[in-house]
Amino acid sequence: MKTYLQVPYAEKDRAKDLGARFDMSRKQWYCPDGVDLMLFKEWVPGLAAPEQEPPRAQTKPTRPTRRPVICNCPSPPWERCAHSFA
């Protein structure tokens, strides 16, 4: 059974030297039967160790937005009253 590999073009010669073959119909490298698959572990999807995620940038915690208190003061709404927040 063929195990298809994801070999970048720059690394094709190294894969070929290890025993990989090229499938012209699929335009993709594969590991033929009888060849140790572990030689190609970096090119087998899902077999190589997953790469670590880069550390995320720390973001400043956001404060919840405060809403003004609606009151029945006689002052106009664009002026602050004793009930509005500072």
> pLDDT at position 16, please?
93
In a domain, 51, yes or no: no
In a domain, 74, yes or no: no
Domain tally for the chain? 1
> pLDDT at position 49, please?
56
> pLDDT at position 28, please?
94
In a domain, 24, yes or no: yes
Contact yes or no for 81/73 (Cβ under 8 A): yes
pLDDT tens digits for the chain (86 residues)?
A: 788 999 999 999 999 999 999 999 999 999 999 888 889 989 988 775 555 666 777 777 777 666 665 667 777 766 767 665 54
Q: Which two tokens stand for residue 75?
A: 């002052």
In a domain, 23, yes or no: yes
In a domain, 27, yes or no: yes
In a domain, 8, yes or no: yes
> pLDDT at position 22, please?
95
> pLDDT at position 23, please?
94
In a domain, 10, yes or no: yes
Considering only CA atoms, which of 14, 12, 34 is closest in space to residue 23?
12
Integer Cα distance of 7 and 78 in angstroms: 66
| Domain region containing 27 | 3-40
